[in-house]
Amino acid sequence: MAKSKVRFVCQECGSSQPKWSGQCQGCDSWNTLTEEVDDAASVHVIKQGVSLAFTDLSSVCENPPRFLSHIAEFDRVCGGGLVAGSVVLVGGDPGIGKSTLLLQAAAKLSKTLETYYVSGEEAINQVRMRAERLKVKDSRVHLAAATSLNDILTSLESTKAGLVIIDSIQTMHADSIAAAPGSVSQVRFCTQALIRFAKKRNIIVIIVGHVTKEGTIAGPRVLEHMVDAVLYFEGERGHQFRILRGVKNRFGATDEIGVFEMTQEGLQEVKNPSALFIGDRQEQVSGSAVFAGIEGTRPLLLEVQALVAPSAFGTPRRAVVGWDNNRLAMLLAVLETRCGVNLGNRDVYLNVTGGLRIQEPAADLAVAAALMSALTDQPLPKASFFCGEVGLSGEVRGVSHLEARLKEAQKLGFESSYIPDQGSSKIKTKGLEIMRLKTLQELASFFNTQQQSNPSPSNSDVISQEDRHYG
């Protein structure tokens, strides 16, 4: 009998080492190595297999059936509904609403599918209390509280399950693996077993995954490659808005988002996110700009707020919420070098309202406008919005889906737009004034003109004409 081997596996990247050390050699993470016993220490020999039947690309195949949860925002992110035989991984911070959303979806889908909900973190009575609060206690959802994967799969074998929800994968354990629940070996093995079960029975399996402090799904990175779709549930704990974001989908588009609002009766869909995100915005306030963005295929309007204050210390502070900190540093350098906007000795605070995180570079122009507005204490033109990417030479680059952005803003009553000149010559929108910008200096000249007509002693040296570079 082969002797069992002891190895130390990183819980972040999955790499193994023969000895314990404080830092993982694979991903440089600290204190992530845990001891695991490899019972399969013997040498494995690949046995003779069966011959595969290959086919060509021209073979006709039917589209897989989809099942709608009738929660439009959830179905949108899934690509138009859940596909039979698919495995979906849902991650998010603790308490963000993952279990609430999936219980609501399970209640809807139980009308057309035999639905099973397995909780490894909560007792059955806790799930029932949540169902009563969500007013779905009469739905035909079969509940169980278990953590043994062997017991779960054995019980499901004798059913006609169409949907299985596992909450969460970090609490599951298989008897054949000696490692503790939540370890890399257990998470990988349990996920692989659930995938095989889903493909064999052609059922939908939804897996809930914990996230690390960096916001990524806990466990080996290969976990996200194994499943068919990966959804992240985002949002601030103290904010009522929740964002369901698709980052991987083998049966639909990626980067789609669904917007929800947390209420007393659970998560409610937001039909018009743009109106909600900018509904509380105050007009004619300095440091506030509206950004016309695109999330997946959906145009979305957001408010970007900036505050510039004198620094009390030698090193100015840069605080960013909802945007990339490195992108802000780059934009500040462009403003100072190309436009003569002096921000080197001032604290800069930037915030994207609504709890949404902007990931596309088209927000550069809106952020620059908000920063210059806050610096000069000059409000931006009323009912205006911005979109455009800013290059290192100060040029304003074109963005995708520009016409869809303009139509969404016009629908909400905006009257003027500041957009890139590149790629916008053929766009004509009736009733909407279009300001086409080639460089960031053209936007900075607006604040210089306003400042000369209404000088302020505190801001008279903010954007000086002699320091401005027009190329």
SS3 for 315? coil
Distance (Å) of CA 426 to CA 197, 293, 403: 53, 20, 10
User: Can you give the pLDDT at residue 162?
Assistant: 96
CA atoms within 13 A on the CB side of 397: 13
Checking if the pLDDT of 464 tops 80, the result is no
| Contact yes or no for 367/348 (Cβ under 8 A) | no
pLDDT tens-digit series, residues 39-49 = 554 445 667 77
pLDDT tens-digit series, residues 71-109 = 999 999 999 999 999 999 999 888 889 999 999 999 999
Cα–Cα distance for residue pair 335/325, rounded to 1 Å: 15
The separation between the first and the last C-alpha atoms of the chain, rounded to the nearest angstrom, is 78
Nearest by Cα to 258 from 270, 240, 276, 274: 270
Q: For the residues 450-457, what does the mean pLDDT come to?
A: 47
Checking if the pLDDT of 393 tops 70, the result is yes
Which residues are CB-contacts of 143 (< 8 A; sequence separation ≥ 6)?
117, 119, 124, 127, 128
| Fold of the domain built from segment(s) 276-467 | Ribosomal Protein S5; domain 2 (3.30.230)
| Contact yes or no for 289/366 (Cβ under 8 A) | yes
The tokens for 123 are 């007792």
Checking if the pLDDT of 52 tops 90, the result is no
Cα–Cα distance for residue pair 219/184, rounded to 1 Å: 6
| Contact yes or no for 16/10 (Cβ under 8 A) | yes
Tell me which CATH code domain 66-271 carries: 3.40.50.300
β-pairing, 5-10 with 16-17? antiparallel
User: Can you give the pLDDT at residue 462?
Assistant: 42
pTM comes to 0.77
Which residues are CB-contacts of 249 (< 8 A; sequence separation ≥ 6)?
78, 79, 228, 229, 230, 256
Beta-bridge mates of residue 295: 298
Hunting for tokens 């911070």 — which residue is that?
93
pLDDT tens-digit series, residues 271-294 = 888 887 887 777 788 999 999 999
Distance (Å) of CA 439 to CA 66, 448, 470: 47, 15, 9
pLDDT tens-digit series, residues 312-369 = 888 899 999 999 999 999 999 999 999 988 888 899 999 998 878 898 999 999 999 9
Cα–Cα distance for residue pair 336/151, rounded to 1 Å: 64
Checking if the pLDDT of 234 tops 70, the result is yes
